[in-house]
Amino acid sequence: MYFTERYVTLSHGRTRYFDEGMGEPLILLHGVGFTSGGDYFWANIPALAQHFRVLAPDFVGWGPGDRLPIEYSFAYLVDFVREFQDALGLSASHLVGHSMGGWIAALLAYESPGRVNRLVLVANGGMATRTLPSMTAFQPPSLDDLIREWSQRSSFDAATLQALAERDFQKVARPDALDSYRRILAHMNHPVNRQRYALPRRLPHIAAPTLILWGEQDPVNDVSLAAEEQRLLPHATLRLLPAGHFVPTEVPDAFNQEVIQFLTAQEV
């Protein structure tokens, strides 16, 4: 599926983002997967763009844009979102973050409350400080690995699965992709960093109305964390969906409906 692809120049260099629709700005923040990026939300952008101006950037360190030969810290990734807003002339926006993207979105809402209108946290990665084997023992995927991953994360037809896997495999082939990703993982896997940037002490101070979306069978971030997140957030609604960790692609119609309903509600 084709979306309007643009580039914006930030302090680290050029960043790719997808830009669709009109209306209030809605920024989609992707997870930590090696082949992730703004295009992860391809099954969500068309529906959301009927109601909002949807902006889906590649985080610095992902996608075809410029990278830096350093570890990308949590602080750097949070400021990346602020700088992205600045570059597009956005004083504030709605934020939707999946997994790592939810962690970064929540940190931004804590640090810069005026930047976030409404917040959607999807299988938020910042509720647990443990590392994951998929991160600590990471190996770059083959094309067959990517086809298998997409088949597990979605119910798309075989042709779509093949196309998505081939798209993502092009990212694997980028010469600096692996070194860049390992620098990202080095920071995120460090127990001190994970503890310092954990969300529980920050959530009670987040003022933005928040929707929590979580898969009932999430094998990555246990669903019990969703209830704890709701308890800590002052203005939160929780919705459990029949999915695992990759809610936006496993149940895209339900995900889109929940997000649109929450963001367009007159009162939350």
Kindly report, residue by residue over 176-194, the tens digit of the pLDDT.
888 888 888 888 888 888 8
Contacts of 4-12 with CB under 8 Å at 24 or more apart are 7/65, 8/57, 8/84, 8/87, 8/88, 9/87, 10/60, 10/80, 10/83, 10/84, 10/87, 11/83, 12/60, 12/66, 12/67, 12/68, 12/80
Average pLDDT, stretch 158-185? 90
pLDDT of 173 above 90: no
Q: How many other CB atoms sit within 10 Å of the CB of residue 192?
A: 7
Average pLDDT, stretch 42-64? 96
Please give the pLDDT value at position 142. 93
CA distance 60 to 35: 13
Q: How many other CB atoms sit within 10 Å of the CB of residue 219?
A: 8
Please give the pLDDT value at position 133. 62
Q: Domains (ranges, CATH) in the chain?
A: 5-264 (3.40.50.1820)
Please give the pLDDT value at position 76. 92
pLDDT of 107 above 70: yes
Average pLDDT, stretch 137-151? 89
Q: How many other CB atoms sit within 10 Å of the CB of residue 3?
A: 18
Please give the pLDDT value at position 30. 98
pLDDT of 70 above 90: no
Q: For residues 22 and 53, is the Cβ–Cβ distance under 8 A?
A: yes
CA 38, 39, 44, 45 torsion-angle sign? positive
Confidence category of residue 68, pLDDT binned at 50, 70, 90: confident
> Which of the two residues, 138 and 88, has the higher pLDDT score?
88
Please give the pLDDT value at position 72. 82
State the chain's mean pLDDT as an integer. 93
pTM: 0.95
Determine what percent of the chain is predicted with pLDDT higher than 90. 76
Confidence category of residue 266, pLDDT binned at 50, 70, 90: confident
Determine what percent of the chain is predicted with pLDDT higher than 70. 96
pLDDT of 228 above 80: yes
Please give the pLDDT value at position 71. 81
pLDDT of 136 above 80: no
Residue with tokens 């680290």: 12
Taking the C-alpha atoms of 237, 240, 246 and 252 in order, what is their torsion angle to the nearest 10 degrees?
Answer: -90
What are the residues whose beta carbons fall under 8 Å from the beta carbon of 59, sequence distance 6 or more? 29, 30, 37, 72, 77, 80, 101, 104
What are the residues whose beta carbons fall under 8 Å from the beta carbon of 130, sequence distance 6 or more? 194
> Which of the two residues, 68 and 229, has the higher pLDDT score?
229
Please give the pLDDT value at position 250. 97
> Which of the two residues, 29 and 178, has the higher pLDDT score?
29
Please give the pLDDT value at position 183. 86
